[in-house]
Amino acid sequence: MDQRRLRDAFGSFATGVTVVTCRNGEGRPHGATVNAFTAVSLEPALCQVTLARRSKACQYLDGAGFAVNVLAAAQLHTALHFAGRPQEPEPEWADGPTAPALVGNAATISCRPWRTYDGGDHLIVIGEVDHLDVTDAEPLVFHAGAFRELRAPETGVHWAGSLDCPEAGWFDASAAFTPLRRRAA
Protein backbone atom coordinates (compact mmCIF):
# COMPACT_ATOMS: atom_id res chain seq x y z
CA MET A 1 0.00 0.00 0.00
CA ASP A 2 1.41 3.40 -0.97
CA GLN A 3 1.52 5.32 2.33
CA ARG A 4 1.18 8.73 0.63
CA ARG A 5 -2.06 7.63 -1.10
CA LEU A 6 -3.31 6.15 2.16
CA ARG A 7 -2.59 9.41 4.03
CA ASP A 8 -4.34 11.39 1.27
CA ALA A 9 -7.38 9.11 1.44
CA PHE A 10 -7.55 9.35 5.25
CA GLY A 11 -7.02 13.13 4.98
CA SER A 12 -10.08 13.52 2.77
CA PHE A 13 -12.18 12.92 5.90
CA ALA A 14 -12.56 16.23 7.76
CA THR A 15 -12.01 15.95 11.51
CA GLY A 16 -12.07 18.13 14.55
CA VAL A 17 -8.79 18.93 16.28
CA THR A 18 -8.16 17.89 19.86
CA VAL A 19 -5.33 18.08 22.33
CA VAL A 20 -5.20 15.11 24.69
CA THR A 21 -3.88 16.25 28.06
CA CYS A 22 -2.60 14.32 31.06
CA ARG A 23 0.21 14.52 33.61
CA ASN A 24 3.76 13.48 32.72
CA GLY A 25 6.07 11.36 34.88
CA GLU A 26 6.91 14.37 37.08
CA GLY A 27 3.22 15.31 37.53
CA ARG A 28 3.36 18.31 35.18
CA PRO A 29 0.71 18.94 32.50
CA HIS A 30 1.46 17.37 29.11
CA GLY A 31 -0.48 17.52 25.84
CA ALA A 32 -0.47 16.06 22.33
CA THR A 33 -2.43 17.30 19.30
CA VAL A 34 -4.67 14.49 18.04
CA ASN A 35 -7.29 14.45 15.30
CA ALA A 36 -8.09 10.73 15.71
CA PHE A 37 -10.91 11.11 18.24
CA THR A 38 -14.37 9.57 18.23
CA ALA A 39 -17.35 8.81 20.41
CA VAL A 40 -17.59 5.09 21.23
CA SER A 41 -20.64 4.58 23.44
CA LEU A 42 -23.36 6.51 25.24
CA GLU A 43 -23.93 3.81 27.89
CA PRO A 44 -21.41 3.62 29.33
CA ALA A 45 -20.16 7.01 28.15
CA LEU A 46 -16.93 6.20 26.29
CA CYS A 47 -14.69 8.02 23.82
CA GLN A 48 -11.53 7.05 21.97
CA VAL A 49 -8.29 8.77 21.05
CA THR A 50 -5.62 7.23 18.88
CA LEU A 51 -2.00 8.31 19.34
CA ALA A 52 1.19 7.43 17.49
CA ARG A 53 3.23 5.01 19.60
CA ARG A 54 6.22 7.37 19.37
CA SER A 55 4.18 10.11 21.11
CA LYS A 56 5.37 10.83 24.65
CA ALA A 57 1.72 11.00 25.72
CA CYS A 58 1.39 7.23 25.15
CA GLN A 59 3.66 6.46 28.10
CA TYR A 60 1.78 8.90 30.35
CA LEU A 61 -1.73 7.63 29.51
CA ASP A 62 -1.20 4.08 30.77
CA GLY A 63 -3.88 3.78 33.46
CA ALA A 64 -4.15 7.57 33.87
CA GLY A 65 -6.99 10.03 33.60
CA PHE A 66 -6.93 12.37 30.62
CA ALA A 67 -8.86 15.20 29.00
CA VAL A 68 -9.85 15.55 25.37
CA ASN A 69 -9.72 19.29 24.62
CA VAL A 70 -11.82 19.93 21.49
CA LEU A 71 -10.11 23.02 20.13
CA ALA A 72 -12.01 26.14 19.16
CA ALA A 73 -11.34 27.87 15.83
CA ALA A 74 -9.36 30.55 17.69
CA GLN A 75 -6.92 27.92 19.07
CA LEU A 76 -4.77 27.22 16.01
CA HIS A 77 -1.70 28.31 18.01
CA THR A 78 -2.63 25.67 20.64
CA ALA A 79 -2.85 22.91 18.01
CA LEU A 80 0.57 23.89 16.64
CA HIS A 81 2.09 24.15 20.13
CA PHE A 82 1.16 20.60 21.07
CA ALA A 83 2.08 19.28 17.61
CA GLY A 84 5.73 20.15 18.33
CA ARG A 85 5.85 23.78 17.15
CA PRO A 86 6.14 25.79 20.39
CA GLN A 87 4.15 29.03 20.37
CA GLU A 88 4.39 32.22 22.43
CA PRO A 89 2.51 32.81 24.57
CA GLU A 90 2.09 29.21 25.65
CA PRO A 91 -1.47 27.87 25.98
CA GLU A 92 -3.12 28.43 29.35
CA TRP A 93 -3.79 25.45 31.65
CA ALA A 94 -6.62 24.82 34.12
CA ASP A 95 -7.14 22.06 36.68
CA GLY A 96 -9.65 19.52 35.39
CA PRO A 97 -11.58 16.79 37.23
CA THR A 98 -9.43 13.93 35.86
CA ALA A 99 -6.42 15.67 34.28
CA PRO A 100 -5.14 19.14 33.42
CA ALA A 101 -7.21 20.87 30.74
CA LEU A 102 -6.68 23.80 28.39
CA VAL A 103 -8.48 27.14 28.57
CA GLY A 104 -10.61 28.35 25.64
CA ASN A 105 -11.83 25.03 24.20
CA ALA A 106 -15.01 24.42 22.25
CA ALA A 107 -15.48 21.46 24.61
CA THR A 108 -13.51 19.58 27.25
CA ILE A 109 -14.19 15.89 27.83
CA SER A 110 -12.60 14.64 31.06
CA CYS A 111 -12.04 10.87 31.16
CA ARG A 112 -11.04 8.09 33.48
CA PRO A 113 -8.98 5.27 31.92
CA TRP A 114 -11.11 2.43 30.49
CA ARG A 115 -9.06 0.25 28.08
CA THR A 116 -6.02 0.50 25.83
CA TYR A 117 -5.61 -1.51 22.62
CA ASP A 118 -2.88 -2.22 20.10
CA GLY A 119 -3.46 -0.22 16.94
CA GLY A 120 -0.38 -1.08 14.86
CA ASP A 121 1.87 1.96 14.88
CA HIS A 122 -0.73 3.69 17.09
CA LEU A 123 -2.21 3.08 20.51
CA ILE A 124 -6.01 3.15 20.88
CA VAL A 125 -7.00 4.64 24.24
CA ILE A 126 -10.61 4.40 25.43
CA GLY A 127 -11.73 6.69 28.24
CA GLU A 128 -14.89 6.71 30.33
CA VAL A 129 -16.34 10.21 30.29
CA ASP A 130 -16.40 11.63 33.80
CA HIS A 131 -17.20 15.31 33.15
CA LEU A 132 -18.10 17.59 30.24
CA ASP A 133 -17.62 21.30 29.64
CA VAL A 134 -19.18 22.56 26.40
CA THR A 135 -19.08 26.13 25.06
CA ASP A 136 -20.62 27.91 22.07
CA ALA A 137 -17.21 28.33 20.36
CA GLU A 138 -16.90 27.09 16.77
CA PRO A 139 -14.46 24.15 16.47
CA LEU A 140 -11.12 24.05 14.67
CA VAL A 141 -11.22 21.58 11.75
CA PHE A 142 -8.50 19.63 9.89
CA HIS A 143 -8.95 18.54 6.27
CA ALA A 144 -6.56 17.60 3.45
CA GLY A 145 -3.47 18.44 5.48
CA ALA A 146 -4.61 21.92 6.56
CA PHE A 147 -6.38 23.54 9.50
CA ARG A 148 -9.73 25.08 8.61
CA GLU A 149 -12.74 26.70 10.21
CA LEU A 150 -16.22 25.27 10.15
CA ARG A 151 -18.89 27.25 8.34
CA ALA A 152 -22.37 26.62 7.07
CA PRO A 153 -22.69 25.78 3.38
CA GLU A 154 -23.59 28.74 1.20
CA THR A 155 -26.86 27.65 -0.38
CA GLY A 156 -28.65 30.98 -0.40
CA VAL A 157 -31.66 29.21 1.10
CA HIS A 158 -32.39 28.73 4.80
CA TRP A 159 -33.85 25.49 6.11
CA ALA A 160 -36.74 27.35 7.73
CA GLY A 161 -38.83 26.84 4.60
CA SER A 162 -38.56 23.08 4.98
CA LEU A 163 -40.20 20.64 7.37
CA ASP A 164 -36.73 19.08 7.73
CA CYS A 165 -35.31 22.24 9.37
CA PRO A 166 -33.03 21.10 12.24
CA GLU A 167 -34.16 24.13 14.26
CA ALA A 168 -37.69 22.73 14.16
CA GLY A 169 -36.55 19.78 16.32
CA TRP A 170 -36.64 17.07 13.66
CA PHE A 171 -35.69 13.57 14.75
CA ASP A 172 -35.64 14.37 18.45
CA ALA A 173 -36.43 11.63 20.96
CA SER A 174 -40.10 12.65 21.26
CA ALA A 175 -40.83 12.53 17.51
CA ALA A 176 -43.56 10.11 16.46
CA PHE A 177 -43.79 9.06 12.83
CA THR A 178 -47.04 7.97 11.23
CA PRO A 179 -46.78 5.75 8.15
CA LEU A 180 -48.12 7.36 4.97
CA ARG A 181 -49.98 4.20 4.07
CA ARG A 182 -50.59 0.87 5.69
CA ARG A 183 -48.99 -2.23 4.32
CA ALA A 184 -51.25 -5.02 3.14
CA ALA A 185 -51.20 -7.99 5.50
Nearest-angstrom CA–CA distance, 34 and 51:
7
For 128, the enclosing helix (H) or strand (E) is: strand 122-134
Confidence of residue 12 (pLDDT cuts 50, 70, 90): confident
Cα 156 to chain centroid, rounded? 30
pLDDT beyond 90 at 153: no
Q: What is the mean pLDDT of residues 139-146?
A: 86
The per-residue pLDDT for 184 is: 61
Superfamily of domain 3-154: Electron Transport, Fmn-binding Protein; Chain A (2.30.110.10)
pLDDT of residue 176: 60
**Residue ranges per domain, the chain?**
3-154
CA distance 112 to 102: 17
Q: Is the dihedral of CA 134, 138, 143, 146 positive or negative?
A: negative
User: Averaged over 139-143, what is the pLDDT?
Assistant: 89
For residues 92 and 85, what is the distance between their CA atoms, to the nearest angstrom? 16
pLDDT, tens digit, for every residue of 79-119?
999 998 989 999 999 999 999 999 999 999 999 999 999 99
| Range scoring the smallest mean pLDDT among 70-79, 88-97, 166-175 | 166-175
